[in-house]
Chain A
Amino acid sequence: MKFAPIILACFTSLLGAQEPDFARDVFPILRKNCYACHGPGMQQSGFRLDDAAAALEGGNSGAAILPGKSAESPLLRRVHGNKGLPAMPPGPKRLAEADARTLAAWIDAGAKFPATHVARVKNPRPTSQHWAFQTLRRPELPASTTNLVAHNEIDHFVLARLAKEGIAPAPPADKRVLLRRLSLDLTGLPPTVEEMATFLGDTQAGAYERQVDRLLASPHYGERWARPWLDQARYADSDGYEKDWTRPWAWRWRRWVIDSLNRDQPFDEFTRDQLAGDLVPNATTEQRVATGFHRNTLTNREGGIDDNQFRFEAVMDRSNTVANVWLGLTTACAQCHDHKYDPITQKDHYALYAFFDNAEEVDIDAPLPGEIGPWLRTRAEYQAKREKLLAEYNVAPLQAAWEKEILYTIQHPGERTDWDLAWDCVKKLTEGGDGGKIVQIPPAQRTAREQDILTDHFIGNYHFAVGQKKYKELKLDELKKKIAALKTSYPQLTQAMTLVERPVPQPSHVRVRGDYKSLGVAVEPNTPAVLPPLNAEGRPTRLDLARWLTSPENPLTARVFVNRVWQELFGAGLVRTPEDFGVRSEKPIYPELLDWLAAEFQENRWSRKNILRKIVLSSTYRQSADARPELNERDPNNTLLARQNRLRLPAEVIRDSALAAGNLLTHAVGGPSVQPPIPPGVMEMSYASRGWGVSWNEATGPERYRRGLYIQFLRTSPYPLLANFDAPKSTVTACKRDRSNTPLQALNLLNDPVFLEAAQALAVRTLTEAPANYRSRLDAAFAFALGRPATDAEALRLSDYLEKQETLLDGDEKALAALAPVSLPGVSRTHQAAWTGLASIVLNLDEFITRE
């Protein structure tokens, strides 16, 4: 290719005498070969040749035609297909040699377009007939279906369709099944025996509605419904890359989500706070905390990485996640090129990216109620002690000299490997703030908080610069421990991970072929052109984006949201591709119902509790889940909803239910993540084993029995129960969970000490609380675990088991000690141990781990 310019130059001179005429020579070539993708109908990669100004301006990668310089013009380069890129036009037919020469000659002659070469529509807004992009309108209810019981509007849609198909709906579920379903769906916890008794005893009209209201008012409602949101937000308690450091304050945002749900914060405000809480005028701490949604992106602290790459990845993940969570769009496809299926261009994608490109990560004090007083009262004393310690170890002069060297190293990289490494560590390993930035602020201009962060980093990491020997001579390792101890002995404020906007916006660019290093044309923040336009004054911000997402004109947000709520309650959405509402999505089964729900959600002040109440009050929801063999052929996947579905419980709820059956569960809401027992060897499979400060300190006391939602999630060593039962990996957004059925799950429930402990507790509870006869006890155990008494057949089978188990255990002291560690008055050890076995059977039943 080196010689190409010379050859082309020769052609140019040859053709010099007869300069190509655009209309006669060039236009036919362009129209025939290029217009299909770069013409009036389509402008792939933002490039069009049917308009002189636009053609000269170029596409996403910049100018394509450099008048007078054909050899350097990307247009000609693409025609020749160099740099490993496919030749244009794509496909088997290459541009004829003669045509390429004509184009070259035309460019060399100045690429002159006639004045008439102007496109009729300059920036056509793409249009689409795709259903999900059409304005949302509340549909009329279908004609009344009076002969059937409809509880609310939802049923009108379903029953009308079923009637048309000649299918009768399923009968309502049994009351016991119904309350267990409702409790698990609204709070993620099974009903207690008392709650069940109340419901069964309530024969007045509105009994069910009273249960719905009670459960929606429960603080556990927020926990249950936080979980799918956490999945979508790819929440985790660790960085995700290599050292996979824990994020000790990630939970602060989780707490905000639970709280927002419990106070039924309208979804538009919920959206606004998470997308742009920092930009709301007079933003509160809670609103800033809400932006922590975007801090769930992965962080790479690996030495020597290109920070630009991972910042790009994180910002990209933010915009992809927002597009997917709120719009159900898979814009990630447009990172490298225009979307293959949906009318989303690469430029659209980077315009969305630009909203987040100007945000920075900042950790803030985010005190919980009651924290500030004690903190203020002890602050002076704490600071004095800290200063004294720092003076004792001579930190100030050491740190000043260290900072000087770091600043020198920034200016002179490559001179000293040790200091290069120390500088890299300032950038990667500073906790609680951006060390790389702080060290470059003159000390006098730093905030006290910034100074403390940098000093703490210095104390812990000075050895990277001077070696462990010197570091230990200075006893800085000792000081590090003392500072840590001092911190734990004084009240500290809870921290939160948040976003803030850079004061001066920096331009964002399209990245050519998605490569973070290849800057294309500059883009302003904007929303995809196929959707209704964004209204903003001046440069659009995240706040404008949030308003646009929840504006009445937005056709997607409400539809996508209600579909995901529906999915939680029926096992599948009305649109069965909840992650994709684009043109390749599955058509909704009940399009009018979806729109009706979406409109109801929008118009009823975006209340999540309201929409949830609507759905669970429908007779469609209340149907029995039993199979209907007569419909197996016609509707094998139950898409028409002629019954409910049996759904295996999520990982966390399986554990919660077992702990609840044994009355072990700790009901506290919110707070830091917990570390329940983990089998040895799990953490050793990740970098954590290398002693980079990640460890698992098994909780004792009630913390051990907190809900699964609070189990510390480390991305490179996920808690085994969560991994076994389909919890997402939390690397990217996830809007639905599998419900797999594997032998490893069976082993987990059969043999995990946690579940055996729950079985022991269930046995003890049964033997102490129920009347001392087999049947009463059995019914009690079933009631604790399943919310129903045992059937006669079950009683018969389990009495056989109990007998056999007692025979097997008789005299086996070791087994008795394991199964019945605490002896109960009036019950033989053998009997009690046998009951532990029986209880574990109950906790392994398919019914137990299923919402029916």
Chain B
Amino acid sequence: MFDERQLLLTHGRRDFLRRTAAALSTAALVDLGLAAEAVDPLLPRQPHYAPKAKNVIFLFQEGAPSQMDLFDPKPALEKWHGQSLPPELTKDLKLAFIKPSAKVLASPRKFAQHGQSGMVFSDLLPYTSKHADLLCMIRSMKSEAFNHHPGQLLLFSGHMTGGRPSMGAWVTYGLGSEARNLPAFVAMQSGPGTSAGSDLWTNGFLPSLYQGTVLRSSGDPILYLSNPAGFSAASQRARLDALRDLNTQHLERTGDAEIASRIHSYELAYRMQTAGPELTDLSQESEATRESYGLNEKETRAYGTNLLLARRLVERGTRFVLCMHSGWDHHASINSNLPKLCKETDKPTAALLADLEQRGLLKNTLVVWGGEFGRTPMSELRRPEDVNGAGRDHHPDGYSLWLAGAGVKAGQTIGETDELGLKITRDPIEVHDLQATLLHLLGMDHTKLTYRHMGRDFRLTDVHGHIVKQICS
């Protein structure tokens, strides 16, 4: 490797371009008088203050998992099972499908305490519960939305209507990325598509390069990553070499630095073509690792693969990984469907925690697990004759979510709901508070991470949000 800087000083710019065309790096382009940000706006940026966490893995459980069947036991419901609650208790509830008079559905789950902290989990989460002492459990999450798409927008973009950037886009806008040959913000999906679809990884009004890149489970891992039919590795390189030389000639003719950026983008794309398959080549992982993530079982394979990829991504410097697993919207047959979803996700989630910890990655990676809201203590019965078909409706006031990893005070349970799970009775944490805290752990002041759009300085937390100190270590 030659010294680009020196070359630039000893030769003219044109000469430099010709010689360095083969290896135009960001540094070289910066020397051409381009601002570093103009060449690669995803270069790592200093946060507002010293961060506790560098990366985020958000395990989004789409559809709203039932907190009272997983994390927040409500034995008092047994007394009410099959009956309507007194109207004065239910009159203020925001419900989607059922009416306040719907009959109570007690949870059939068995709950137990786990770890030194004695954190409570139901029997549906035998794997995750083993890592109780790594988690900070919140039982008092509060959303303003009680429908999926608005709820997902609120959780990820801070506002119930569309058009705003998602959390991952904000984070990469604020911090850039350490990963040069892989995307800064990656989204992965298991289960059917989500309500919010691309809104969950959209750049909104931020520049497009902050858009999440979808890492796909079939076909090319990144769209158009592999060479088209007929192009071997050698002929792809030959094509790129000729393209680069022609672009360089045109750069010389027009003097437009944007062409230098274009050349750079093509080289990054080429490197991504190598880095992408390397990333997704899970044969590099030990059999023990593959087994722990559930890659050998049908139920866990899809989500487990995504979680293993999430680890590999943060290892390679990706800033924000969004793993979406859908199917938690249990309006019907919750007592058979919820175990199914837990089976699909529990083991891989636990494996990710263990793996990150064992590799020391949990020190700089923040992990969040949760949905857009929770579910009602009352049952939803769409067909009265089908007693096993009972499910639960949407409940935004007092749902559970956990965090783990960098900057998180583990082994504690924050917040409390009343004995029927209708209302929060202690330490309510709103969605904007969670966002503010997440940015805080990444070293960013949520009131200062702004972007001017339509005459206004927008924030992920809109005009709300308080850092929850209790979460932070």
A-side residues, CB < 8 A to B, are 240-242, 244, 298, 300, 302-305, 313, 317, 324, 330, 332-333, 336, 340-342, 413-414, 416-418, 420-421, 424, 467, 577, 579-580, 582, 584-585, 625-629, 632, 646, 648, 679-690, 715-718, 720, 723-724, 726, 729, 731-732, 738, 740-748, 750-753, 756, 791, 793-794, 797-798, 800-801, 804-805, 808-809, 812, 814-819, 833, 836-838, 840-841, 844-847, 852
Please tell me if the beta carbons of B162 and A304 are within 8 angstroms of each other in the complex.
Answer: no
CB distance from B254 to the nearest CB of A (A): 5
Closest 6 CB pairs of A and B: A304-B96, A716-B197, A414-B99, A627-B255, A818-B230, A686-B197
Quick one: which of B204, B230, B250 has the most chain A CB within 10 A?
B230
Q: A679-B219, A808-B232 are in contact. Are A840 and B146 (CB under 8 A)?
A: no
Tell me, yes or no, whether B242 is within 8 Å of chain A by CB: yes
Who on chain A is nearest to B95 by CB? A304
Stretch in contact with the other chain, from B303-311, B312-320, B381-389, B400-408: B381-389
In the bound complex, how far is the Cα of B202 from the Cα of A629, in angstroms?
Answer: 37
In the complex, given contacts A750-B239, A845-B250, what are 9 additional A-B residue pairs having Cβ atoms less than 8 angstroms apart? A627-B255, A685-B214, A687-B193, A687-B195, A715-B162, A740-B208, A744-B213, A750-B228, A808-B238
Give the residues from 232 to 277 in chain B that come closer than 8 angstroms, CB to CB, to chain A: 232, 234-236, 238-243, 245-247, 249-251, 253-259, 261-263, 265-266, 268-269, 272-273
Is B288 located at the chain interface by the 8 A CB criterion? no
When distances are taken between beta carbons in the complex, the residues of chain B under 8 Å from A300 are: 147, 149-150
A751 in contact with B227 (CB, 8 Å): yes
Contact status A753-B228, CB under 8 Å: yes
Could you give, for residues 78-117 of chain B, a 1 whenever the CB lies within 8 Å of some chain A CB and a 0 otherwise?
0000000000000000011111111000000000000000
Q: Is B131 among interface residues, defined by CB-CB distance under 8 A?
A: no
- B33 — which chain A residues lie within 8 A by C-beta? 632
Contact present for B148 and A681 (CB under 8 Å): no
> Cβ of B218 < 8 Å from any Cβ of A?
yes
Set B195, B240, B254, B463: member contacting A625, Cβ < 8 A: B254
Q: Residues of B contacting A716 with CB < 8 Å? A: 193, 196-199
Let me know if A742 and B225 touch, CB within 8 A.
Answer: no
Question: What is the distance, in angstroms, from B177's C-beta to the closest C-beta of chain A?
Answer: 12
14 of the cross-chain contacts (CB-CB < 8 Å) are A242-B195, A242-B196, A300-B149, A302-B195, A421-B97, A679-B220, A685-B197, A685-B214, A729-B198, A738-B208, A746-B266, A747-B224, A818-B228, A819-B230
A257 to chain B, nearest CB (A): 22
- Which residues on the B side are within 8 Å of A838 (C-beta)? 242
The yes or no answer to B128 lying at the interface (CB within 8 A) is no
- B235 and A837 contact, CB distance less than 8 A: yes
CA distance A467 to B382 in the complex (A): 9
Given contacts A791-B249, A818-B229, contact A747 B272 (CB under 8 A): yes
B223 within 8 A of partner (CB): yes
Known: A424-B97, A815-B230, A845-B250. A646 touches B256 (CB 8 A): yes
Partner of A302, one of B147, B225, B247, B393: B147
Q: In the docked arrangement, what's the CA distance between A646 and B194, Å?
A: 39
Q: Are A685 and B193 in contact (CB under 8 A)?
A: yes
Residues of chain A within 8 A (CB-CB) of B231 are 815, 837
Q: Which residue of B lies closest to A834 (CB)?
A: B235
- Within the complex, what minimum Cβ distance (angstroms) separates A338 from chain B? 13
- A627→B455 contact, CB < 8 A: no
Q: Give every chain B residue within 8 A of A681 (Cβ-Cβ).
A: 216-219
A743 and B265 contact, Cβ closer than 8 Å, known pairs A723-B198, A751-B225: yes
| In the assembled complex, B380 has its CB within 8 A of some CB on chain A | yes
Cα(A579)–Cα(B383), bound, Å: 51
Residues of A within 8 A of B223 (CB): 679, 682, 720, 744, 747-748
Q: Which residues of A contact B249 (CB under 8 A)?
A: 791, 793-794, 797
Q: Are B97 and A731 neighbours in the complex by a CB distance under 8 Å? A: no
Instruction: State how many angstroms separate the Cβ of A503 from the closest Cβ of chain B.
Output: 30
A313: contacting residue among B161, B255, B259, B380, CB under 8 A: B161
Contact B265 A417 (CB under 8 A): no
Q: Please judge, given known A-B contacts A731-B163, A741-B265, A744-B213, whether A304 and B146 are in contact too, CB under 8 Å.
A: yes
For B456, what are the chain A residues with a Cβ–Cβ distance below 8 Å?
330, 332-333, 340
A740 to B199, CA, bound (A): 19
Asked if B129 CB lies within 8 Å of chain A CBs, one says no
| Cα distance A679–B223 in the bound complex, in angstroms | 8
Q: Which residues of A contact B147 (CB under 8 A)?
A: 300, 302-305
Known: A646-B256, A686-B198, A729-B202. A797 touches B242 (CB 8 A): yes
Q: Does B25 contact A (CB under 8 A)?
A: no
CB distance from B124 to the nearest CB of A (A): 24
- The CA-CA distance from A726 to B463 in the complex, in Å, is 28
Question: B226 near A: Cβ within 8 Å?
Answer: yes
Whether B254 pairs with A242 at a CB distance below 8 angstroms is no
Q: How far, in Å, is B127 (CB) from chain A's closest CB?
A: 27
Least Cβ–Cβ distance between A567 and chain B, in angstroms: 16
Q: Is B435 an interface residue (CB 8 A)?
A: no
Q: How far is the CB of B458 from chain A (nearest CB, A)?
A: 11
CA distance in complex: A738, B258 (Å): 14
Q: Are A420 and B197 in contact (CB under 8 A)?
A: no
B360 in the interface, Cβ–Cβ < 8 Å?
A: no
- B162 near A240 (CB under 8 angstroms)? yes
Residue of A nearest to B213 (CB): A744
A200 to B9, CA, bound (A): 43
**Is B380 in contact with A746, judged by CB distance below 8 angstroms?**
no
Judge if B118 is at the interface, Cβ distance under 8 Å: no
C-alpha spacing A342/B196, complex, angstroms: 34
With A648-B258, A681-B216, A804-B238 already in contact, the answer to whether A687 and B454 are too (CB < 8 A) is no
A355 CB, min distance to chain B CBs, angstroms? 20
Q: In this assembly, does B365 line the interface, its C-beta being within 8 Å of a C-beta of chain A?
A: no
A342 and B455 contacting across the interface, CB-CB below 8 Å: yes
The answer to whether A846 and B218 have CB atoms under 8 Å apart is no
When A686-B193, A686-B197 are in contact, do A418 and B384 touch as well, CB less than 8 Å?
Answer: yes
Whether A303 pairs with B161 at a CB distance below 8 angstroms is no
Residues of A within 8 A of B75 (CB): none
Q: Residues of A contacting B226 with CB < 8 Å? A: 751
Most chain B C-beta atoms within 10 Å of own C-beta, residue among A302, A304, A305: A304
**A843, closest chain B residue (CB):** B243
Q: How far, in whole Å, are A747 and B220 apart by their CA atoms in the complex?
A: 11
Q: Are B193 and A836 in contact (CB under 8 A)?
A: no
Query: Is B12 an interface residue when CB atoms closer than 8 A count as contact?
Result: no
A280 to B183, CA, bound (A): 52
Annotate B55-77 by CB proximity to A: 1 below 8 A, 0 otherwise: 00000000000000000000000
- The answer on a CB contact under 8 Å between A747 and B232 is no
Does B225 lie within 8 Å of A738, measured CB to CB?
Answer: no
Q: Is there contact, CB below 8 Å, between B246 and A798?
A: yes
Q: Is B209 an interface residue (CB 8 A)?
A: yes
Most buried by B among A690, A724, A750, A846: A846
CB neighbours (8 Å) of B235 from chain A are 805, 808-809, 815, 837
Residues A746 and B245 in contact in the complex (CB < 8 Å), given A414-B101, A684-B189: no
Q: Give the residue of A582, A742, A800 whose beta carbon is less than 8 angstroms from that of B265.
A: A742
- Shortest Cβ distance from residue B237 to the other chain A in the assembled complex, whole angstroms: 10
Distance to closest chain B CB from A727 (angstroms):
9
Query: Considering the chains assembled together, what is the distance between the CA atoms of A681 and B214 in angstroms?
Result: 10
CA distance A241 to B197 in the complex (A): 9
Assess whether B345 is interfacial by the CB under 8 Å rule. no
Q: Is the CB of A852 within 8 A of B394?
A: no
